[in-house]
Amino acid sequence: MLYIIGLGLADERDITVKGLEAVKSSERVYLESYTSILMVNKERLEEFYGKEVLIAHRETVESFSDDILKDADKVNISFLVVGDPFGATTHTDLVIRAHELGIEVKSIHNASIMNAVGATGLQLYSFGQTISVVFFTESWRPDSFYDRIKENSTLGLHTLCLLDIKVREQSIENMMRNRPIYEPPRYMTVNQAVDQLLEVEEKRKEKAYTEDTLAVGVSRLGSDDQVIKAGTLKQLLDVDFGEPLHSLVLVGHRIHLLEAEILRENAVDLEHLNLVLKRDYNVDK
């Protein structure tokens, strides 16, 4: 049996009881480490589980699904995923491969940013499609997210923006020389994301959003030191959200009173928030 187990958002105790039982029953335990990160390290997981945890890098999973699935017809194997098992397509590959090999697969669900973002007070049923913001480079500044945000904002819907994570990046030199040397991990901050968003709006000028658009920045959602701050994009440029992971939500115009109430509790600047709610969102107290 292959168990694909969601670890949830923050630490080792966010696993479900069912998930923990599956880990304890497994011969080998892999931790997926390329689409998201937990806020605790492998050693803490190993101590909590009482067994070794193998790190599955992207290259491992894509080239060596069969290694992960070895003997899974006879013994239990656990594949741990930060958030929920269905957050990333790569696990879909693993599942399809398992099915080809006739190996039974069971997924154990958990929270992911896709539903936990409800903690912002914005209602999940008023979100449109989710977008990803990747780190711009000198030569590569992909802005297709802009069209998606515009589609959502035209309908008055909120947009969850998932921010880029770079783990096991290789420098061009190391890549060309095929040296397995990796750069330190990088996590996009809310500030960087807002900066890139505003750069694209500056270029496109279609008002999918502006620097006065209300947004909510979140970091370390689900942990004891989570931060949730609401303000205009311009205001969020300068808010320190601390350690990763960060995410960003753009607030749509269909916002209702109860949602606005929670934004106020998390306001960077309550007076200015109320002004923008009234002026641009038609929400009065």
**What single string gives the DSSP state of each residue in 75-137?**
S-EEEEESB-TTSSHHHHHHHHHHHHTT--EEEE----HHHHGGGGS--GGGB---EEEPPP-
Nearest to 34 by CA among 113, 88, 92: 88
Which residue in 1, 40, 46, 130 binds a copy of itself (CB under 8 A)?
130
Nearest to 95 by CA among 21, 8, 15, 3: 3
The distance of closest approach from Cβ of residue 89 to a copy of itself in the complex, given in angstroms and rounded to an integer, is 6
Nearest to 183 by CA among 206, 204, 166, 203: 166
- Strands of 105-108's sheet in order across: 54-56, 28-32, 77-81, 2-6, 105-108
Q: By rule CB under 8 A, what string of x and - marks binding of each residue 240-259 to a copy of itself?
A: ------------------x-
Q: What is the CA radius of gyration of the chain?
A: 21
Determine contact, residues 241/230, Cβ cutoff 8 Å. Answer: no
Q: Does the footprint of a copy of itself cover residue 114 (CB under 8 A)?
A: yes
Beta carbon nearer to a copy of itself, 243 or 265: 265
Q: Does the footprint of a copy of itself cover residue 50 (CB under 8 A)?
A: no
Query: How many residues appear in the chain?
Result: 285
Q: Does the footprint of a copy of itself cover residue 25 (CB under 8 A)?
A: no
Was 275 annotated as part of a binding site?
A: no
Range 132-143 burial, b when 16+ CB lie within 10 A, else e: ebbbbeeeeeeb
The distance of closest approach from Cβ of residue 97 to a copy of itself in the complex, given in angstroms and rounded to an integer, is 12
Q: Does the footprint of a copy of itself cover residue 21 (CB under 8 A)?
A: yes
Q: By rule CB under 8 A, what string of x and - marks binding of each residue 63-92 to a copy of itself?
A: --------------------xxxxx-x--x
Give me the residue label for tokens 């711009």: 136
Q: Kindly state the tokens that stand for 117.
A: 């973002």
Beta bridge partners of 104: none
Beta bridge partners of 250: 159, 215
Beta carbon nearer to a copy of itself, 230 or 237: 230
Which residue in 62, 118, 207, 225 binds a copy of itself (CB under 8 A)?
118
Which residue in 39, 119, 267, 283 binds a copy of itself (CB under 8 A)?
119
Site for a copy of itself in 172-211 (CB under 8 A): none
Which range in 56-64, 115-123, 135-143, 267-275 contacts a copy of itself by CB under 8 A?
115-123
The distance of closest approach from Cβ of residue 4 to a copy of itself in the complex, given in angstroms and rounded to an integer, is 10
**Rounded CA separation 250/244 (Å):** 19
Angle at which helix 42-49 crosses helix 17-24, to 10 degrees, equals: 80
Residues of this chain that bind a copy of itself (CB under 8 A): 6, 8-9, 11-18, 20-21, 83-87, 89, 92-93, 96, 99, 107-112, 114-116, 118-119, 121, 123-132, 151, 155, 157, 162, 221-222, 258, 261-262, 265
Annotated binding-site residue numbers for S-adenosyl-L-methionine:
9, 84, 87, 112-113, 163, 221, 246
Binding site: what residues are annotated? 9, 84, 87, 112-113, 163, 221, 246
